Structure 1
Amino acid sequence: MTKTFTFAILHFSVAFTVTYLLTGSIVIGGAIALIEPAINTVVFYFHEKIWKRFENKQLKPLAA
């Protein structure tokens, strides 16, 4: 869990820093730093589900 938490902090920091450097706005940087990782987490969840389905299809012919 510690690794996940530190990665989340890193992700928020990168999102904020890049947005702040591009816009010069602390508010926009903060908003993007909260919104982008949240959306990315949801997308990653579905990516994992789809990837798992793909892996299962690849393994079935080997098991037969």
Structure 2
Amino acid sequence: MAKTLTFGIMHLGIAFSVTYALTGSLAISGAITFIEPAVNTVAHYFFDRYWEKRERRQAGTARNHAAAQRNHANLAGA
């Protein structure tokens, strides 16, 4: 947990520094420093939901393929 917290603080510091270097504005730098992680968190939530559905779909396809192969083998042996 300490490593994660330290990385989060470092990320905020880098975001602020880079934005300030590009804009020269404390207000814009401060806003971006906190808005970007909030937007990224929401995007990550939806990305995780998409990824879980994708994995379930792939698992279902693999199961269906294996069942079809078993059925084919059973028919060939009959």
Letter in 1 for 2:63: A
Q: CA deviation at 1:6?
A: 2.7
Structure 2: how far apart are the matches of 1:6 and 1:50? 29
TM-score scaled by structure 1?
A: 0.81
Query: Which 4+ residue blocks in structure 1 deviate beyond 4 angstroms?
Result: none
Unmatched 5+ stretches in structure 1 = none
Within 5 A, what are the aligned runs for 1:1-64?
1-64=1-64
Larger Rg computed on CA atoms: 2
The AA in structure 2 aligned to 1:49 is R
Q: Output the CA distance in 2 between the equivalents of 1:10 and 1:52.
A: 30
Q: Which has the higher contact order (CA 8 A, sep 6+)?
A: 1
Taking structure 2 as the reference length, what is the TM-score of the superposition?
A: 0.69
The aligned length equals: 64
1:56 deviates by 0.9
- Which residues of structure 2 form unaligned runs of 5+? 65-78
